[in-house]
Structure 1
Amino acid sequence: MTETQLASTPAGVPSTPAAAPTALPKAFHRLFAASAASSLGDGVYLAALPLLAAALTRDPFQIALVTSAALAPWFFFGLIGGALVDRWDRRRTMWVTDLLRAGLLAVPAVAAGFHWLSVPLLIAVAFLLGTGQIFFDSAGSGYLPELLGRDLTLLEKANSRQMGSQSVARDFVGPPAGAALFALARALPFGLDALSFLASSLLIRTLPPQPVAPSAGERSLWADARSGAAFLFRDKVLLGLALRPAIGNLAFAATETVLVLFARQMLHLGSLGYGVLLTAQAVGGLLGAVLAGRLRAWMGIGAALTMTALLEGLAEAGLGLSAGPWPALIAALSLALLGAAMAATMVLAPSVTQALVPTQLAGRVSAARRLLALGAAPVGALLGGWLATVDGLRAPFVVGAVLLAGTGLLSVTLTSTRRIEAALAERAH
């Protein structure tokens, strides 16, 4: 998860009205703190969960069930969850959801302490946590634009800071902390994650009430859910912004499936070297989140999205074709560039979407976008595995590079600066 007035600027970019605030409100800083706390817990959890699953079973299929269970709820009732969120108070939905997730994470923590853990228990906990994520993310996608007055510049600042905090907390600090805590005691990482959700819940509870009344929900729940998807697919700008992460996930999943094998067999890296590769991507992501707003101001948002698409394709190709005397260095630089381009895209595209989607549809449209993006990931994983089997480990990266570069054409045709400006101007009236 603004309609700024258009002014004559060198890049043809929507500028903030003279009377519009330029600083993020104090309430956002509490929301930001909640996001940072939750991201830290996520990083701890994401490292500890597979470690715990591997300690309980050596069956790869059971481990895969545990790690994928959190995504399954989106396919079963992601759209319904978005429709429900549009009927509920979004602030209350967020803090209650995080409070429930804190209590839920106490279950594996207590079970680990009493040696009651099992794979089915982990699958159930992961599934319920994923269900909570549907409600929290869908509610947040509607609450943030209203909190910031739907101002595009403020939305970019907010999304940039949140993306940066996620990179630091979830990608840098969280995983090693989770692994270290797991080594001390199996219950510790889950207890810390529970505390992070509790802190997030308490912080969100202090935020201002939802500025706009929830949807009355006069139609059936399924009709409401379908209306969000229909709105997304009818609007060319929103559709282009939604297809970008879907195609991206298709390409990224194809390469992530074989990245560990590629690092070992083609780059001759051990576990430490593989960790450095992932760190390089996280560093690039932090840089991209910081620079996203400057890119938009420099070249216009449509051109910026086109450029990041081409950079993603270039980085993916550089990674897959890493060769020469220092292939590992080339791979690390390519991953850093990939992380930067991805992060910039994940700041710019959602900010425009949040500014364009009507308040009463925010949860439903957000759920439809997430479902489209998440649905592409398993297809990409299967594609990557098949390509690596029939044509070698470099093949998924080459195909992924073509797909990512192709999203540049998508940006030119559906999400050009001219189209986005026109959509923002129409929404303002």
Structure 2
Amino acid sequence: MRALVSARLGADFTRLWTAAAVSTIGDGVTMAAGPLLVASVSDDPALVAGAVFAQQLPWLLLALISGAYVDRLDRRRLVVVVNLARAAALAGLAATVATGTVTVPVIYAVLFVLGVGETLADTAMGALLPAVVAPDRLPSANARLYASFTIGNQFVAKPLGAWLFVVSAAVPFGVDALTFAISAALVAGIRKVPVVDEPRRRSSLRDEVAAGVRWLWRHRLLRTLAVSMGLSNVAFGAAFAVFVLYCRERLGLSAVGYGVLLTAFAVGGLLGTTVAAILTRALGSATVLRAGLVIEVVTHVSLAVTTTPWAASLVLVVFSVHAMVWGVTVTSVRQRVVPPRLRGRVGSVYALLDLGGAALGSLLGGLLASTWAITTPFWIAAVAMAVITGLAWRPLRDAAAA
């Protein structure tokens, strides 16, 4: 069955999908081993937290600029070069770990380089997909990409990364370097695809970024989806920034119980990738997107009122199914609607809103929970999502024709 689906999507998609799956495992390995490495060098909590920020910072600084370069350059070649650069950076980090010369600034520098690479390669991969897959196959293709991320990053890579770090601190970073090299080779095997769909005069970088933002803002459906996603991530980030404390104080879970509850996200995400394309075909994009917003409201209300771990886990599974279905549907709609010459820039705006909303929400969530009750962020998130749902309801009907 897998071979049959791959055949329908084409050999180029198989290479792209395999490249994404391999690098996803490598990313997960580094995500698990990176904090362990920083903690082995310094026991300062601020320095450990700074490692995560060092990899996220490029998205906030460079997302829009990277999107413009993705639209300027050969996307296939860009992914190859960036993955080789990330492989070299990780190999260098592995060498410093193996020789006992690693320092916190070195770790930060490598993580920053990896983050810069993500802004380019991830945006380019998203823009490249519609060039190798027919429009009607995009939901299935995106679902397979999301599934490989869920399985590889959530289930396989993180425990593997922690285990490899115990075996030898340098090994996980060497493994990640190898995955990027393999990914580069696979993407290099994709047939050459055009960068744009029409010749155009080269503008300044600032003008090109502005053109992408203007195009998105003038498209009612995509503007609605982008703003809804950004605001939803503020609500989500605020609620789940204190989730570990919520599990302990509200649900009475131990650290182990908290870890088990988190697997509900992965289970729901995997289930969501299997039904996303089916639901979109059966119900239509507009119905799926509207239902997703309602599910978000119900999720926050349910978590605010429940004190039972099994009920919370069920809510998280349903929410994670929705998150995957929403992601696959929105990505497929965007890839069909946005002209090829603008896919990088429009995709980068989405990425900026995604991370920016989550980051702002995390700051607000901690403040709200410390000022009032642990459930306050969930109640505020529920009200915010109800307002967003009401405002987005009518514009989302345009998704039926996208």
**Shorter-normalised TM-score: what interval?**
over 0.9
Residue equivalent to 2:33: 48
Residue equivalent to 1:155: 138
Residue equivalent to 1:230: 214
Matched, 1:337 2:337: no
| Aligned counterparts of 2:363 and 2:393: Cα–Cα separation in 1 | 29
| Aligned counterparts of 2:311 and 2:195: Cα–Cα separation in 1 | 50
Report the CA distance between 1:262 and its aligned residue.
1.4
| Aligned counterparts of 2:386 and 2:166: Cα–Cα separation in 1 | 42
Residues 244-286 of structure 1: per-residue CA shift (max 9 Å, x gap): 3212221222123211111122222222211111111110011
Residue equivalent to 1:172: 155
Question: Counterpart of 1:129 in structure 2: which amino acid?
Answer: L
Query: Aligned to 2:19, which of 9, 22, 34?
Result: 34
Residues 3-46 of structure 1: per-residue CA shift (max 9 Å, x gap): xxxxxxxxxxxxxxxxxx99211210111111111111111111
Question: Counterpart of 1:56 in structure 2: which amino acid?
Answer: V
TM-score, L = length of structure 1: 0.88
Q: 2:71, 2:196 within 8 Å by CA — same for their partners in 1? A: no
Name the structure where helix makes up a greater proportion of residues. Answer: 2
Q: Label 1:58 to 1:212 Cα distance change in 2 as closer, same or farther (>3 A).
A: closer
- Structure 1: stretches of 5+ with no match in the other structure: 1-20, 425-429
Q: 1:254, 1:385 within 8 Å by CA — same for their partners in 2? A: yes
Q: 1:22, 1:154 within 8 Å by CA — same for their partners in 2? A: no
| Aligned counterparts of 2:305 and 2:42: Cα–Cα separation in 1 | 36
| Aligned counterparts of 1:386 and 1:162: Cα–Cα separation in 2 | 35
Residue equivalent to 1:276: 260
Residue equivalent to 1:381: 362
| Aligned counterparts of 2:209 and 2:170: Cα–Cα separation in 1 | 38
Q: Percent identity?
A: 37
Report the CA distance between 1:216 and its aligned residue.
5.0
Q: Label 1:410 to 1:274 Cα distance change in 2 as closer, same or farther (>3 A).
A: same
Report the CA distance between 1:213 and its aligned residue.
4.6
| Aligned counterparts of 2:44 and 2:238: Cα–Cα separation in 1 | 23
Matched, 1:208 2:191: yes
Matched, 1:99 2:97: no
Q: 1:87, 1:216 within 8 Å by CA — same for their partners in 2? A: no
Residues 298-352 of structure 1: per-residue CA shift (max 9 Å, x gap): 22211111111111221232223222xxx11111111111111111101000100
Residue equivalent to 1:8: none
Report the CA distance between 1:56 and its aligned residue.
2.0
Matched, 1:58 2:58: no
Matched, 1:120 2:105: yes
Q: 1:316, 1:338 within 8 Å by CA — same for their partners in 2? A: no
| Aligned counterparts of 1:116 and 1:410: Cα–Cα separation in 2 | 55
TM-score, L = length of structure 2: 0.94
Residues 148-202 of structure 1: per-residue CA shift (max 9 Å, x gap): 14x1x31100000110110000011111111111111111111111111111111
- The alignment yields a C-alpha RMSD, in angstroms, of 1.8
Question: Counterpart of 1:109 in structure 2: which amino acid?
Answer: A
Query: Aligned to 1:319, which of 290, 296, 303?
Result: 303
Runs of 4+ more than 6 Å apart:
none
Residue equivalent to 2:175: 192
- Structure 2: stretches of 5+ with no match in the other structure: 1-5
| Aligned counterparts of 1:205 and 1:367: Cα–Cα separation in 2 | 23
Residues 340-380 of structure 1: per-residue CA shift (max 9 Å, x gap): 11111010001000100001111111111111221112210
Q: Label 1:138 to 1:216 Cα distance change in 2 as closer, same or farther (>3 A).
A: farther
Query: Aligned to 2:234, which of 238, 242, 250?
Result: 250
Report the CA distance between 1:58 and its aligned residue.
2.4
